[in-house]
């Protein structure tokens, strides 16, 4: 416990504290504001502890024109995105984790290239193509774009998950009477399920929070972020706070639920056995 | 016939690496055959080819007289025990053992009974409700063996099943596997790099090197009469001693010269050795076939003690003979000091000679 050690610890904790506050204070302010009565929003100085709990602001937000509809749209798009992403991403992740094939490493890196192009750059060509294909202003169209965005992460995450399921287990199942697919379904899939659920939630949040493509590719069928961003300039302060809180909610829940599996994603750490 | 395995010219390559090169092997019914070799010698690949987990590039695999070359593992009548045990973590011990029988759609009652029986055989019937994470390594190992045995396979394949156990447990389990094989009599192919395991378990041992079988014999034959320098050096603790010797002959006699020392050879060799006069050979002898005498005179091979290691049941000497270093096993109570000059006597009948170029044993009919 030398002086230098103490100093180091203090500095580390201070850095951690700063980062945590940096992230937490806005969330806290938004959360509090979303549940305080309207009049108090304009008070200054603000109190950190709200005087009393109120659903008035939330009720106002949900009652506003187009909010419920875009909320439902957002859910639909997110569920579609999740389905598409897992249907394509999980098998891809499995293949990368299990099989040696020519260009495997190139594929693992190359899949990130799709994230290199800013959506702003792709927006106009995409809109044109979507209009031509009849996908413009449809929820499926938005879900397809969100799938393209989430897919690289989904592949990387599911690769890590399936790498954590030892190949021996599937081979053992095969020697015990399973076909290749049977071994996957009975052994690899159940073991990967918690991780896959985390990947699914991650995909859901990506879609839920995506605003740019959704705003450009829809006119009447807005998702919630697209709806908020197009109306926010003309909205009162309480609407903004309530909207903000609503957008944060899934991501917050997601983080609490999957903290454990985050290690899988970033580290490729092996599964518990 | 039922459990007979025959490999005919199987070959398996991974990219440019030839893991198994045109290998032929016949395993008799109810035989316990050990595939032994250093890592990377192709023994595990050979086993996986029998299991059907690898497709052979060429050649045929027969199990019980049936050509299974193109069949998936599920249809080969095999069961396998993996080095990692590969016990399913999301199933209880009972479900693990019964997994294969459920795949066969046997009635529930029958599965339960079979699982209980095999669990008793392996003394894990107390653990049936547990999950693998609640088991020790040795217990998981037993589950893996039980899961394979319950299938009543024609052929049991084991891939280094003991290598993840600690030394004491390994010793126990080794004896247990031997007992199980005697009771059940299933044809078994067992892969290991541990020569002691191979010697203790195998009816026959196939010593492999670089994708080929270099010797296929009973444990005693492999130990006493290694087919080449590699086998002699790989099997036995300590490995076989090797020293250079020259064949010399005069009018009356033939002998091997180690430096100035003349070594007598078995009588049956003499006529054949005479034809090799003046050739250099490698002489091989095991540590326990060398006798140590404290005095150096009297027709003994002179040597100098470098190290003396007491090992409990015996004492192991490292000695210098000319340019060669030998290991010699002696009684534990023999008193020698490092630097001491001693005389060695090689047991005549236990000498092997090998070709200097190829390392192959030179044998005389």
Average pLDDT over residues A98-110: 87
**Chain A residues in contact with B89 (beta carbon < 8 A):** 169, 191, 272-273
| CA-based nearest residue to A207, from A116, A80, A70, A66 | A80
Say if A23 is an interface residue toward chain B (CB within 8 Å).
no
- For residue B217, what pLDDT band results from cuts at 50, 70 and 90? very high
Q: Which of B51, B83, B84 sits opposite A175 (nearest CB)?
A: B51
Q: Where are the alpha helices (DSSP H) in B291-364?
A: none
Angle at A263 between CA A269 and CA A204, to 5 degrees: 125
pLDDT computed for residue B226 by the predictor? 95
Would you call B72 and A176 a contact, using CB atoms and an 8 Å cutoff? no
CB contact under 8 A, A172 and B80: yes
Q: Does B99 contact A191 at a Cβ distance shorter than 8 Å?
A: no
CA atoms within 13 A on the CB side of B337: 2
pLDDT at B136: 92
Cis upstream peptide for B170 (omega within 30°)? no
Question: By the CB < 8 Å criterion, does A179 face chain B?
Answer: yes
Q: Is the pLDDT of residue A151 over 70?
A: yes
| Interchain CB distance below 8 Å, A171 and B86 | yes
pLDDT digits 0-9 by tens, B168-203: 889 999 999 999 999 999 999 999 999 999 999 999
Rounded average pLDDT over A133-141? 90
Query: In 3-state terms, what secondary structure has residue A220?
Result: coil
**Two structure tokens written together for A270:** 């092996």
- d(CA B240, CA B229) in angstroms, rounded, equals 8
Q: Report the run of H or E that residue B215 belongs to, with start and end.
A: strand B212-217
- From chain B, pick out residues whose CB is under 8 angstroms from the CB of A196: none
pLDDT at A54: 77
Q: Look up the ipTM and state it.
A: 0.85
Closest-CA residue in chain A for B91?
Answer: A187
Residues in chain B with CB shorter than 8 Å from the CB of A168 are: 82-84, 86
Distance from CA of A166 to the nearest CA of B (A): 8
Residue in chain A nearest B76 by alpha carbon: A175
- Cβ atoms within 10 Å of A51's Cβ, excluding its own: 10
Write down the pLDDT at residue A260: 65
Contacts of B99 in chain A (CB under 8 A): 173, 176
Q: Which residue segments constitute the domains of chain B, with CATH numbers given?
A: 5-234 (3.40.50.300), 241-362 (2.40.50.140)
Judged against a pLDDT cut of 70, whether residue A270 lies above it is answered with no
pLDDT at B299 exceeding the cut of 70: yes
Per-residue pLDDT tens digits for A216-250: 888 888 888 888 888 878 788 888 888 888 888 88
Residue B128 dihedral angles phi and psi, to the nearest 5°: -55, -30
Query: A65-267 maps to which CATH number?
Result: 1.10.3720.10
Residue A19: count other Cβ atoms within 10 Å of its Cβ. Answer: 10
CA distance B133 to chain A (A): 6
**pLDDT confidence band for A143 (50 / 70 / 90):** very high
Residue A57 confidence (pLDDT)? 79
Residue A50, pLDDT score: 64
Q: In angstroms, what is the C-alpha Rg of chain B? A: 25
State the pLDDT confidence band at B222, using cuts at 50, 70 and 90: very high
Tell me what pLDDT residue B86 has: 94
Alpha-carbon distance A250 to nearest alpha carbon in chain B (angstroms): 29
Sheet holding B155-159, edge to edge: B78-81, B155-159, B187-192, B32-36, B204-209, B212-217
Helices (H), chain A: 3-34, 38-41, 56-63, 67-98, 104-110, 119-133, 139-163, 167-175, 180-183, 189-209, 212-217, 224-231, 237-267
B13 beta partners: B18
B79, B80, B89 member nearest A191 (Cβ): B89
Structure confidence at residue B305 as a pLDDT band (50, 70, 90): very high
Q: What is the pLDDT of residue B176?
A: 92
Angle in degrees, CA A41, A234, A33, rounded to 5: 20
Share of chain A above pLDDT 90, in %: 32
Q: Which one, of B39, B79, B45, lies nearest residue B59 by Cα? A: B45
Residue A112: predicted pLDDT: 83
d(CA A176, nearest CA chain B) in Å = 5
pLDDT of residue A46: 65
Q: How far is CA A206 from CA A79, A121, A127, A143, in A?
A: 11, 19, 20, 11
Spatial neighbors of B218 by CB under 8 A, at least 6 apart, are B202, B203, B204, B205
Backbone φ and ψ for A240, nearest 5 degrees, come out as: -65, -45
Q: Which residue of B has its CA nearest to A187?
A: B88
pLDDT digits (tens, 9 = 90+) for A47-64: 666 667 778 778 888 888
Q: Do the Cβ atoms of B86 and A177 come within 8 Å?
A: no
pLDDT at A14 over 90: yes
Q: Are B75 and B53 in contact (CB under 8 A)?
A: no
The per-residue pLDDT for A272 is 39
For residue A169, give the chain B residue with the closest CA: B86
Residues of B with CB under 8 A from a CB of A: 51-53, 72-74, 78-80, 82-84, 86, 88-90, 99-100, 103-104, 132-133, 147-148, 151, 157
Band (pLDDT 50/70/90 cuts) for residue A273 is: very low
> Smallest Cβ distance to A171: which of B53, B89, B90?
B53
Task: Give the pLDDT band of residue A171 (cuts 50, 70, 90).
Answer: very high
Percentage of residues in chain B having pLDDT higher than 90 = 79
- Answer whether A273 sits within 8 Å of B133, measured CB to CB: yes
pLDDT in tens, A152-165: 989 988 998 899 89
Say yes or no to pLDDT of A266 above 70: no
Token pair 């100035």 is found at B260
Which chain A residue lies closest to B79 (C-alpha atoms)?
Answer: A175
Q: What is the mean pLDDT of residues B295-300?
A: 76
Instruction: Give the model's pLDDT for residue B280.
Output: 93
Interface probe, candidates A102, A177, A182, chain B, greatest B C-beta count within 10 A: A177
CB contact under 8 A, A176 and B99: yes
Instruction: List own/partner pairs for A119-125 with CB under 8 A and 24 or more apart.
Output: A119/A149, A119/A212, A119/A213, A120/A212, A123/A212, A123/A213, A123/A216, A123/A217
Minimum Cα–Cα distance from B86: chain A residue: A169
Tally DSSP H helices, then E strands, for chain B: 9, 21
Residue of chain B minimizing CA distance to A182: B103
- Determine contact, residues A179/B72, Cβ cutoff 8 Å: yes
Q: How far is A165 from chain B (nearest CA, A)?
A: 10
As a whole number, mean pLDDT of residues A82-95 equals: 92
Residues of B in contact with A177 (CB under 8 A): 74, 100, 103-104
**With bands split at pLDDT 50, 70 and 90, how would you rate the model's confidence at A258?**
confident
Q: Which residue of A has its CA nearest to B14?
A: A100
- CB atoms near residue B331 (< 10 Å): 9
Length of chain B equals: 365
Cross-chain residue pair A272–B132, CB shorter than 8 Å:
no
**Does residue A269 surpass a pLDDT of 60?**
no
A to B CB pairs, distance under 8 Å: 63
As a whole number, mean pLDDT of residues B22-48 equals 95
Inter-chain contact A175–B88, Cβ cutoff 8 Å? no
Determine contact, residues B270/B258, Cβ cutoff 8 Å: no
The model's confidence at residue A44, banded by pLDDT at 50, 70 and 90, is: low
At B54-74, the pLDDT tens digits run 999 999 999 999 999 999 999
- What residue of B is the nearest CA neighbor of A179? B74
Task: Assess whether the previous peptide bond of B54 is cis (omega < 30° from 0).
Answer: no
Q: Where are the domains of chain A?
A: 1-58, 65-267
């Amino acid at each position: 416990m030398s002086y230098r050690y103490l100093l180091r610890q203090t500095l580390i904790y201070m850095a951690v504290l700063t980062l945590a506050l940096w992230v937490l204070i806005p969330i806290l302010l938004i959360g509090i504001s979303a549940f305080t009565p309207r009049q108090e929003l304009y008070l200054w100085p603000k109190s950190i502890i709200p005087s009393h709990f109120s659903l008035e602001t939330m009720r106002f937000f949900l009652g506003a024109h187009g909010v419920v509809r875009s909320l439902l749209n957002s859910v639909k798009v997110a569920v579609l995105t999740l389905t598409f992403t897992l249907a394509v991403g999980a098998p891809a992740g499995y293949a990368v984790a299990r099989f040696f094939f020519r260009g495997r490493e190139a594929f693992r890196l190359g899949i990130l290239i799709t994230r290199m192009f800013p959506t702003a750059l792709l927006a106009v060509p995409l809109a044109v193509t979507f209009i031509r294909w009849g996908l413009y202003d449809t929820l499926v169209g938005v879900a397809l774009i969100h799938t393209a965005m989430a897919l690289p992460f989904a592949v990387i995450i599911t690769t890590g998950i399936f790498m954590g399921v030892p190949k021996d287990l599937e081979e053992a199942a095969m020697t015990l009477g399973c076909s290749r697919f049977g071994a996957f379904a009975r052994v690899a899939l159940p073991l990967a399920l918690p991780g896959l659920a985390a990947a699914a939630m991650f995909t859901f949040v990506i879609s839920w929070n995506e605003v740019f493509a959704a705003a450009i590719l829809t006119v009447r069928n807005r998702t919630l972020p697209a709806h908020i961003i197009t109306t926010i300039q003309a909205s009162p302060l309480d609407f903004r706070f309530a909207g903000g809180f609503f957008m944060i909610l899934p991501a917050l829940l997601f983080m609490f639920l999957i903290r454990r599996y985050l290690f899988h994603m970033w580290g490729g750490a092996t599964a518990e056995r | 016939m039922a459990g007979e395995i025959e490999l005919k010219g199987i070959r398996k390559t991974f990219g440019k690496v030839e893991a198994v090169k045109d290998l032929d092997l016949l395993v008799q019914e109810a035989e316990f055959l050990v595939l032994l070799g250093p890592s990377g010698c192709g023994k595990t690949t050979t086993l996986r080819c029998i299991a059907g987990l690898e497709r052979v590039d060429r050649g045929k695999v027969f199990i019980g007289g049936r050509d299974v070359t193109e069949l998936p593992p599920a249809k080969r009548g095999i069961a396998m025990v993996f080095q990692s045990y590969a016990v399913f973590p999301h199933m209880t011990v009972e479900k693990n053992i019964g997994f294969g029988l459920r795949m066969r759609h046997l009635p529930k009652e029958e599965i339960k009974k079979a699982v209980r029986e095999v669990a008793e055989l392996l003394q894990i019937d107390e653990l049936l409700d547990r999950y693998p994470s609640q088991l020790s390594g040795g217990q998981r190992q037993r589950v893996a063996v039980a899961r394979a045995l319950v299938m009543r396979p024609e052929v049991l394949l084991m891939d280094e099943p003991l290598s993840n156990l600690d030394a004491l447990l390994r010793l126990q389990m080794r004896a247990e596997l031997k007992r199980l094989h005697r009771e059940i009599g299933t044809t078994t192919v067992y892969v290991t790099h541990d020569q002691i395991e191979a010697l203790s378990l195998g009816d026959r041992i196939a010593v492999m090197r670089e994708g080929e079988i270099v010797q296929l014999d009973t444990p005693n034959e492999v130990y006493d009469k290694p087919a080449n320098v590699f086998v002699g050096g790989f099997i036995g603790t300590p490995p076989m001693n090797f020293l250079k010797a020259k064949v010399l002959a005069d009018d009356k006699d033939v002998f091997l010269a180690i430096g100035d020392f003349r070594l007598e050879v078995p009588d049956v060799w003499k006529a054949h050795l005479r034809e090799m006069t003046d050739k250099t050979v490698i002489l091989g002898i095991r540590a326990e076939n060398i006798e140590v005498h404290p005095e150096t005179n009297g027709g003994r091979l002179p040597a100098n003690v470098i190290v003396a290691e007491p090992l409990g049941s015996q004492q192991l000497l490292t000695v210098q003979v000319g340019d060669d270093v030998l290991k010699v096993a002696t009684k534990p109570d023999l008193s020698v000091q490092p630097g001491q000059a001693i005389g060695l006597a090689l047991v005549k009948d236990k000498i092997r000679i090998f070709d200097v170029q190829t390392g192959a044993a030179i044998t005389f009919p």
